């Protein structure tokens, strides 16, 4: 092979006999803003309605989770050089080069070290190193407006690993045993007008409104999704999670009639969950 012009690596799709451990590498962002009405610090989430087909019929579930999403692998060959062949979990992940892949069980520690090494580097050419792209995309989905660089600031606050495989709810790979690496950031909203828009969106759009929008999206040829913001009082939320038994934090929890994803624990620095290992 000509090493100056190596053949492009084009991973396959889906699990195989050897490649059956799914790995998801993503950002989670603790988005904080002050409520302009009373200056209370709030934690903002992406509130998602998703239509699913079940044996008993169509169901629209609503769950809120921290902003963030899959990191992109800019240089597939760099990972292949370390672990050999791997597959993406879906055509969607491959087309975006999202870090949602199937690997051999024996390669898990090598993948973890690969990620940690590249997390340490700014403007990394191999692995996406910041949450900017995902934040912009998700603010468009939730608020129908584009997040501008001068409206917020962010910083990295750590890495969390979920070593024990558990089934994924990712719509294109549902049910596959998955281990996870989360790079956690904090983003502070600096623009009072944006903070006001987030609070207004949270208060004016009910969960039932989102269910209706998801159904309409499906009827109009979409995949059956709708997004909004959920803004909750930060200190009250921390106290709630602190009072919950640790084992219960491994699962989604209900707070003020909102179902919160288990990843909420990951963005609360002083609240531990047994399945998460902080690095």
Per-residue pLDDT of the chain (279 residues; tens, 9 = 90+): 344 445 678 899 999 999 999 999 999 999 999 998 899 999 999 999 999 888 888 899 999 999 999 999 999 999 999 999 999 999 999 999 999 999 999 999 999 999 999 999 888 999 998 999 999 999 999 999 999 999 999 999 999 999 999 999 888 898 999 999 999 999 999 999 999 999 999 999 999 999 999 999 999 988 899 999 999 999 999 999 999 999 999 999 999 999 999 999 999 998 999 999 999
If you write DSSP's letter for every residue of the chain in order, what string do you get?
--TTSPPPP--EES--SS--EEEEEEEEEEEEEE-TTT--EEEEEEEEEEEEEETTEEEEEEEEE-B--BPBBS-HHHHHHHH---EESSHHHHHHTBSEEEE-GGGHHHHHHHHHHHHTSTT-SSB---SHHHHHHHHHHHHSSPPPGGGEEEEEEEEEEEEEEEE---TTSTT-EEEEEEEEEEEEE--HHHHHHHHHHHHH--HHHHHHHHHHHHHTTS-SEEEEEEEEEHHHHHHHHHHS-GGGGGS-EEETTEEE-GGGGGG-TT---TT-EE-
pLDDT, residue 7, reads 65
pLDDT, residue 9, reads 81
pLDDT, residue 6, reads 55
pLDDT, residue 4, reads 46
pLDDT, residue 121, reads 87
pLDDT, residue 5, reads 46
């Amino acid at each position: 092979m000509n090493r100056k012009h190596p053949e492009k690596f084009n991973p396959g799709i889906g699990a195989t006999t050897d490649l059956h451990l799914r790995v998801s590498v993503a950002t989670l962002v603790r988005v904080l803003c002050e409520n302009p009405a009373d200056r209370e610090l709030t934690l903002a989430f992406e509130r998602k309605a998703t239509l699913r087909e079940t044996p008993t019929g169509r169901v629209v579930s609503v769950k809120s989770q921290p902003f963030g999403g899959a990191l992109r692998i800019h240089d597939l060959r760099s990972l292949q050089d370390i672990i050999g062949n791997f597959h993406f979990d879906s055509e969607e992940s491959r087309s975006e080069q999202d870090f949602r892949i199937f690997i051999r069980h024996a390669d898990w520690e090598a993948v973890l070290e690969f990620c940690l090494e590249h997390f340490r580097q700014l403007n990394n050419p191999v692995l996406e190193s910041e949450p900017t792209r995902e934040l912009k995309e998700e603010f468009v989905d939730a608020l129908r407006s584009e997040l501008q660089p001068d409206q917020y600031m962010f910083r990295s606050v750590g890495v969390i690993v979920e070593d024990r495989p558990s089934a994924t709810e990712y719509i294109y790979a549902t049910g596959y045993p998955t281990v996870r690496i989360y790079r956690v950031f904090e983003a502070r909203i600096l623009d009072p007008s944006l903070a006001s828009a987030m609070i207004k969106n949270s208060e004016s759009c009910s969960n039932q409104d989102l269910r209706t929008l998801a159904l309409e999206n499906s009827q109009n040829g979409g995949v059956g999704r709708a997004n909004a913001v959920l803004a909750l009082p930060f200190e009250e939320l921390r106290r709630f999670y602190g009072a919950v038994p640790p084992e219960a934090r491994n699962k989604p929890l209900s707070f003020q009639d909102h179902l919160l994803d288990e990843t909420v624990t990951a963005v609360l620095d002083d609240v531990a969950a047994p399945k998460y290992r902080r690095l």
